[in-house]
Amino acid sequence: MLGTLHKIKNIMKKETIASITTPIGEGGIGVIQVSGPDSLEIVNAVFKGKRLRDLRKVESKRLYYGDIYSNGSTVDEVIVNVLREQDSFTGEDLVEVNCHGGILAVKKTLECVVSAGAKEAHWEELASRSLSNNTIDSIQEEALLEIPGAKTK
């Protein structure tokens, strides 16, 4: 049984996932997080920076402005935040794509990332990766799971 769990964790680690991490249609900004070994390559395939040529060569913890493209057409204007594995809460390379918060913009942006090679996943999978990579504890994981639906005044 323990060997099976170890294999499952290794498979999960190798797959690059994308998840909407904000409530859809409830805010001015929607966030899609892409985590895993191919996150930079996947987002780079659909992102064209205003002054940036290659997202894979950028520094961690920096913001980059540009557009998400699909079939040569702009899907949305975005700001991308690159977090290398040592800086990311998942313990993997992570790219946050901040797009407009409307339902259509968020879904279309996610579709672009998935079509470039990411597996669509629920927010819980990102949090569980953090726990399995020992970047957070179970209490922090529980708090992370509450963020997407948190209410503000």
Mean pLDDT per 10-residue interval, the chain, length 153 residues: 49 79 86 96 96 87 95 96 89 94 95 98 77 61 66 64
Name the pTM for this structure: 0.80
Provide the pLDDT for residue 128: 73
Strands of the chain, DSSP E: 17-20, 29-35, 47-49, 62-70, 73-83, 94-100, 119-120
Could you tell me the domains of the chain?
16-121 (3.30.1360.120)
